[in-house]
Structure 1
């Protein structure tokens, strides 16, 4: 089976040490990406770890397809113990980092410990570099104290790396002020505008006093990617006329608002009367050039600019339109663009930030006040005033705001409304990382009519299948937009494996996540929603039975015996 290659590079930022460990057994069993990172996290993060403590670890991992020329592969996975949900979380981001990461010759980076000063960590291939007529070797890992970057935004950090190390934002992961100040939904950013967004891993790097990590090298281990289908996928992506290529995920805004639900004014309404002002057409009008991720011909990104105000950003995508638009009662796409740019610059997940701000607006009857929303967003990043309360996330501050707690496992809801799409509601309830639409996407099946949006029963088998597929997608690693192109038969050809074996890797990953969370006290009581949908408890029973878990949502220890080989 095709799998990533290269060692685990473990960096303890407190001890200023770096250790390479061969993990061939893990990679052979888990391929790479999310599956490999989850196995390592399960083995190496203590079950009772403090998310902000030195014992927590953050894993940045690649898959084998990041060495291909195929579209939909410009992504990476990040895994760690979430300070927002208190459970294991994986998140992935696009951009141009993956090829530079692979160039260092490693498959997984592990960040552990806690530095006593703000650091930039530099990872290279450790090979010699030519300097004039002489060859100079460079260290595998270098630690640089960067007190001058304290409080710097993500673009300011990238500019510093460019000036002092000739490395661009495509070589970096970085945190902004939100990460330094341990905002529980702070993001890790790459390429300035691409976010490892959900779950607060930016705050984990902040707790370790790591401002950024750079990657540079040409030592990618050779991996032979089957072609076809490698270039077939790439050609079809280039020739596609999908609406996603012009409007990104915002292309469905008006359709969802008119036919299903676009949560509005902090979930008090099911539709936004001005959806057309912040939806796909409005975004496309502001788009001024094409944008893509590494090696991808699909080019679905949204570089946008408002000529009148000079506001420029990448996006917003649908989730940001919902979080800073309809949820806040804001009907100007330029205001949503400003919010998107502010979150990217400060390093925050737009969903959690936007919904938490919307909750405050609800508490103060200030819906539609975009100026106040931006002020609150900045206060959150710097933990100033009420921002210090909001920075804890909605689950921890809703009582003080006297609003309903629209979270699952502490994670704020994505836009696809489980009150209307009941299969998606079930997915939110049982997902190991909470109310995240990327964990398993039944919403598209319910939007299209392939599944009836009403009811939860009869959907469990498909939900389990979608969870397993998403876990493997984040293992390969393949963009979610590539699902129509990287089909089951093509996955079999690419990975030289039966499709069911690939789905079993996904299932094992879900099982390990759940087991880790079980050890931290998660059980059936955490698989709940803040609203009622039909037959939820019966569907959860069916879900546990299908997964082979107990009636309390616990993974039996015996179920892990074939899943967890130790790191070599």
Structure 2
């Protein structure tokens, strides 16, 4: 089976030391990306760790396909103990970082410890340097990128960075790359902030060799380049009006199911503001959305559908330029647009201020700096909803994505049992329910499909393949690319989900945490079906006998 290559690089920000560990047997068993990082996290993060403590670790990992030039592979994975959910979380981002990371020769970066000074870490193929950067305290993400470019001739495609939100330990702070691409969900920006790591740069000229079959690679690239589907033109916003008209676009902090101004913030509105094409590294699909409003000068990348929902319909805001402003603000400050937008919407609900885009932007800035009311809001909805007097629309502490489980019942089941909470990318039953392949109503009988989707997505984040490439990087092509049967690939995904769950079990997570803030049909019976399909107990616990040791490759001695 194809797998990533290269050692694990451990960087202790407090001690300012580094260590390389050969993890070839781990990579062979886990392929790369999310699966490798999850296996390492499970072995090396103490089960009782404080998410903001020096014992927590942040993993940045690549998959084997990042050593190729195939379309849909310009992405990387990040994994760590989430300050938002208190469990393991993995998230991935696109852009141009992956090839620069691979060129350093490493497969995984592990950051641990806690620096006394605000720190930049420079990783190259010849070593690691530490740089105190007190002048970057409070700097935005673009300001940090500009500093690295001016002082080290390394542009944003070489960097991961946090903004003020990460420094101030906002629980949904993002790690950013290329200024506008986010390792978004779960608050890993705050994990780097707790370690006083402002940014990490990557530069090298050691590209590990990769044998990849040329026919699938070139076919995928050609098909991506020739595609003329709406996704390329409008990103995920292309389905906004369809979802609003036929299913549900959550509106005014979940009070409504339909937004009257959906067309004004949907795909056509975004496409009208798109002024050029944008892509990720080596990708011919070019689905990114560089947008500009000539009248106001607002310029950003996006917004995608989740931001249109979180800072649009959920806040009662029907102006695409206001949503663009919010999108750019979150990217600049380093925050997940979903959690930030839902949290702001909760505040607007508490004050009867729906539609007040100026207040929404003011609150967003205050969250990033923890100024005034921004301080409790920076904790997220699960921790501030009582103070606001609103419903807690989260699962495991994570704010809901747009795809409404009150209407898409299979997706609701997915939110309930997902190890990282109400995240639509953990398993995409939503696409099957939107398309009619699954009846949106009811949950019984959907558990087996849910398990298959979770396993698929876990492997996709392991490879690493962009979610938008599913129609091009088919199951058959995955088998060819990774030189393995599809069932063997899915076993890697299943094991990843299992390790995440076992880690969370050790932190006290069980069936009581697999719940929703609303009722959908037969949820408890369907959760039991899901546990049965996974081989877990009725309490949602992974049996110890189901786990296999990964062996000495994760030993911190480096032996």
Contact 2:22 2:553 in 1 (8 A): no
Between the aligned partners of 2:322 and 2:159, the Cα distance in structure 1 is 28
Q: How big is the shift at 1:478?
A: 0.2
SS in 1 for 2:229: coil
Equivalent position of 2:546 in the other structure: 559
Equivalent position of 2:422 in the other structure: 435
Between the aligned partners of 1:466 and 1:251, the Cα distance in structure 2 is 23
Between the aligned partners of 1:122 and 1:380, the Cα distance in structure 2 is 29
Equivalent position of 1:116 in the other structure: 116
Q: How big is the shift at 1:561?
A: 2.1
Equivalent position of 1:6 in the other structure: 6
Between the aligned partners of 1:488 and 1:276, the Cα distance in structure 2 is 35
SS in 1 for 2:39: helix
Alignment of 1:153 with 2:140, yes or no, is yes
**Unmatched tracts of structure 2, length 5 or more:** none
Using the size of structure 2 for normalisation, the TM-score is 0.99
Q: How big is the shift at 1:563?
A: 6.1
Alignment partner of 1:464 out of 437, 443, 451: 451
Equivalent position of 1:187 in the other structure: 174
Residues 152-171 of structure 1 aligned to structure 2 (within 5 Å): 152-171=139-158
Distance 1:542 1:565, change over 3 A: farther
Contact 1:352 1:393 in 2 (8 A): yes
Contact 2:24 2:553 in 1 (8 A): no
Distance 1:418 1:564, change over 3 A: farther
Equivalent position of 2:401 in the other structure: 414
Contact 1:69 1:231 in 2 (8 A): no
Between the aligned partners of 1:226 and 1:17, the Cα distance in structure 2 is 39
Alignment partner of 2:465 out of 475, 478, 486: 478
SS in 2 for 1:228: helix
Equivalent position of 2:475 in the other structure: 488
Alignment partner of 2:529 out of 535, 542, 548: 542
Between the aligned partners of 1:562 and 1:327, the Cα distance in structure 2 is 45
Alignment partner of 1:251 out of 229, 238, 251: 238
Equivalent position of 1:99 in the other structure: 99
**CA displacement, residues 403-462 of structure 1 (integer Å, 9 cap, x when unaligned):** 000000000000000000000000000000000000000000000000000000111111
Between the aligned partners of 2:295 and 2:132, the Cα distance in structure 1 is 41
Alignment of 1:291 with 2:278, yes or no, is yes
Using the size of structure 1 for normalisation, the TM-score is 0.97
Between the aligned partners of 1:385 and 1:122, the Cα distance in structure 2 is 35
Between the aligned partners of 2:552 and 2:105, the Cα distance in structure 1 is 23
**CA displacement, residues 161-189 of structure 1 (integer Å, 9 cap, x when unaligned):** 00000000000000000000000000000
Equivalent position of 2:195 in the other structure: 208
Equivalent position of 1:55 in the other structure: 55
**CA displacement, residues 537-559 of structure 1 (integer Å, 9 cap, x when unaligned):** 00000000000000000001110
Contact 1:26 1:565 in 2 (8 A): no
**CA displacement, residues 502-527 of structure 1 (integer Å, 9 cap, x when unaligned):** 00000000000000000000000000
Residues 439-454 of structure 1 aligned to structure 2 (within 5 Å): 439-454=426-441
Q: How big is the shift at 1:225?
A: 1.2
Q: How big is the shift at 1:43?
A: 0.3
SS in 2 for 1:80: strand
Q: How big is the shift at 1:566?
A: 4.5
Alignment of 1:327 with 2:298, yes or no, is no
Q: How big is the shift at 1:223?
A: 1.2
**Unmatched tracts of structure 1, length 5 or more:** 127-139
Contact 2:80 2:188 in 1 (8 A): yes
Contact 1:508 1:563 in 2 (8 A): no
SS in 1 for 2:105: coil
